[in-house]
Amino acid sequence: MRTILAILAAAGALLAQKPEFHPNQLAPYVPSPYQIVGKMLELAKIKPGEKVYDLGSGDGRVVIVAAQKYDARAVGIELSSRLVKSSQEEIKRLGLTEKASIVHGDVFDADLSDADVVILYLMRDSNNTLKPKLEKTLKPGARVISHDYEISGWKPQMEERVDAYRRSHKIYVYRMPPQK
Ligand SMILES: C[S@@+](CC[C@H](N)C(=O)[O-])C[C@H]1O[C@@H](n2cnc3c(N)ncnc32)[C@H](O)[C@@H]1O
């Protein structure tokens, strides 16, 4: 009987956590390994002061490394209030608030017209759902770097395979065409 009560109590506690659900949830939270973050930013060839967006920024690691290592103006957009809070705290702790920020919101509402670089680690279908927005709003020459998932119909400038965390990851590098 005690075991059953303990199981019921644990289930109740789990349900009480009310996991955040959003109809525009494009992917679950799975952080890119730091090795992949480093490679994506290296392949993006970021110049100091360029504007870098991470669409679905998780714990903020891409934004933090872009600001710290490349002196980018880096913005993360994230749905989860828990991840927004922890990444904002980390940015503050590291003294990066001048260069790095996290917006609590939906990537579909973001204005990406000033983006030089967009980083994605979502899912295949999510990339394709986002594709029309990227095509409509990104400026010519903007780079889009996607971890693991292609953007169907776009021709990557480069594809790179990187081994990390006991599996092979793929990084796709795209560049928006000169004319729309
Ligand atoms: C696979 S994780 C990638 C995290 C980070 N970009 C990285 O590479 O480490 C995807 C993130 O996107 C967020 N997300 C999913 N849909 C979103 C949306 N519509 N707007 C903003 N963030 C979203 C999730 O909450 C999650 O943190």
**Helix H or strand E encompassing 2:** helix 2-16
Q: Are 37 and 45 contacting, i.e. CB atoms less than 8 angstroms apart? A: no
What does the pLDDT look like over 126-151, one tens digit per residue? 999 999 999 999 999 999 999 999 99
Task: Kindly give, in sequence order, each residue whose CB lies less than 8 Å from that of residue 1, ignoring residues fewer than 6 positions away.
Answer: none
Instruction: For residue 50, give the nearest of 38, 62, 36, 67 by alpha carbon.
Output: 67
What pLDDT, in 10s, does the model give residues 64-107?
A: 999 999 999 999 999 999 999 999 999 999 999 999 999 999 99
Model confidence over 2-60: pLDDT tens digits? 444 444 444 444 444 445 668 889 999 999 999 999 999 999 999 999 999 999 999 99
The reported pLDDT for the residue numbered 18 is 47
**Which residue has the CA at smallest separation from atom 27 of ligand 1?**
58
Domain extents in the chain: 24-175
Residue nearest to atom 2 of ligand 1 (CA): 29
Tell how far the Cα of 4 is from the centroid of ligand 1, in angstroms: 36
User: In angstroms, what is the span from residue 19 Cα to ligand 1's centroid?
Assistant: 15
Q: How far apart are the C-alpha atoms of 78 and 96, rounded to whole Å?
A: 18
Q: Which residue's CA is the nearest one to ligand 1's atom 23? A: 56
Helices (H) and strands (E) in the chain, counts: 5, 7
What is d(CA 46, CA 70) in angstroms, rounded to the nearest whole number? Answer: 6
Give the separation between CA 66 and CA 74, rounded to whole angstroms: 6
Q: Please, which pLDDT band fits residue 180 given cuts at 50, 70 and 90? A: low
Protein residues whose CB sits closer than 6 Å to any atom of ligand 1: 24-27, 29-32, 54, 56-58, 61-62, 77-80, 83, 106-107, 121-122, 147
Does the structure show a pLDDT above 70 at 170? yes
DSSP 19-83: ----TT--S---PPPHHHHHHHHHHTTPPTT-EEEEES-TTSHHHHHHHHHH--EEEEEES-HHH
Confidence of residue 179 (pLDDT cuts 50, 70, 90): confident
Predicted pLDDT of residue 82 = 98
What separation in Å is there between the alpha carbon of 30 and the centre of ligand 1?
Answer: 8
> CA–CA distance from 66 to each of 54, 93, 171 (Å)?
10, 16, 17
Query: Atom 12 of ligand 1 has which residue's CA nearest to it?
Result: 56
pLDDT at 22: 81
CB 29 within 8 A of CB 80: yes
Give the global pTM: 0.90
Query: Hey, what CATH topology would domain 24-175 get?
Result: Rossmann fold (3.40.50)
User: Which one has a higher pLDDT value, 119 or 7?
Assistant: 119
The pLDDT score that the predictor gives to residue 153 is: 97
Compute the distance between CA of residue 100 and CA of residue 91 in angstroms, rounded to an integer.
7
- Give the CA angle between residues 44, 39, 27 to the nearest 5°: 85
